[in-house]
Amino acid sequence: AQTVTQSQPEMSVQEAETVTLSCTYDTSESDYYLFWYKQPPSRQMILVIRQEAYKQQNATENRFSVNFQKAAKSFSLKISDSQLGDAAMYFCAFGYQGGKLIFGQGTELSVKP
Amino acid sequence: EAGVAQSPRYKIIEKRQSVAFWCNPISGHATLYWYQQILGQGPKLLIQFQNNGVVDDSQLPKDRFSAERLKGVDSTLKIQPAKLEDSAVYLCASSYEDRVYYEQYFGPGTRLTVT
């Protein structure tokens, strides 16, 4: 069975600073994707960034980047130049056959002005 | 392009009552998912449809939950009878096909409170 663990229930960052959210997973699958989703207080889940497991290069999307360590089964999200609008719940998710997603427990990020 | 629509946004019922949620996915999306998100937790998949067929309902409590996707478009999720532990946000998501390559788009959710 696949599991996803986010060990940081809450994180805080100063505006314009950088923050890293941690995620570890466990699987026996060889073909999978990893995702970070953002869920603002309005509750609509939005995809932030994704990483294909077969790709060694870490994914980047503007201010968001990941550190994917396949052997360690680690998938962290780095947010650079944090903005007030980045405040939200962030979920790490493991995606595999048939489009299924397994979500972690979430990390609540607050951004201080 | 219109997003995933859900209704109602909020619902309060008493235990043992029944409730139904509705979802309209993005046009052209063959795959539809229902998730349950209990406060403080990540979403958990309840059921997955491909067109109007069930792909995975292994985590759906079938003694009280049921779901259907008639004509492969809209879907309804029903709980009968509701229990206190069913209080959660119910999220609907859709994707173009049932492959992880395709992004899942989420609706705003229905927040259910069972008293």
From residue A75, how far is each of A52, A62, B18 by CA, in Å? 11, 18, 41
B17: which residues sit within 8 A by CB, 6+ positions away?
A: B81, B82
Share of residues in chain A with pLDDT > 70 (%): 100
Backbone phi, then psi, for A84, in 5-degree steps? -55, -35
pLDDT at residue A98 tops 90: no
How many Å lie between the alpha carbon of B23 and the closest alpha carbon of chain A? 14
Helices (H), chain A: none
* Interface contact B100-A33, CB threshold 8 A: yes
| Regions of chain B where pLDDT drops below 70 | 1
* Interface contact B108-A101, CB threshold 8 A: no
Edge-to-edge strands, sheet with B5-7: B5-7, B19-24, B75-79, B65-68
Total beta-carbon pairs less than 8 A apart between chain A and chain B? 64
How many Å lie between the alpha carbon of B115 and the closest alpha carbon of chain A? 22
Q: What is the mean pLDDT of residues A40-61?
A: 92
Quick one: pLDDT band at residue A1, thresholds 50, 70, 90?
A: confident
How many Å lie between the alpha carbon of B99 and the closest alpha carbon of chain A? 4
* Residue in A4, A33, A44 to test binding to B, most B beta-carbons within 10 Å: A44
A13: which residues sit within 8 A by CB, 6+ positions away?
A: A19, A79, A82, A86, A109, A110, A111, A112
Q: What pLDDT score does B100 carry? A: 80
Share of residues in chain A with pLDDT > 90 (%): 87
Lowest mean pLDDT among A6-10, A57-61, A94-98, A106-110: A94-98
From residue B83, how far is each of A64, B108, B114 by CA, in Å? 40, 23, 7
Q: What pLDDT score does A69 carry? A: 96
Q: Is B38 on the interface with A (CB under 8 A)?
A: no
Q: What pLDDT score does A41 carry? A: 85
- Collapsing DSSP to helix, strand or coil, A3 comes out as strand
Q: Is B36 on the interface with A (CB under 8 A)?
A: no
Q: What is the DSSP-derived secondary structure letter of residue B31? A: E
Q: What pLDDT score does B1 carry? A: 67
B58: which residues sit within 8 A by CB, 6+ positions away?
A: none
Q: What pLDDT score does A15 carry? A: 98
Q: Is B96 on the interface with A (CB under 8 A)?
A: no
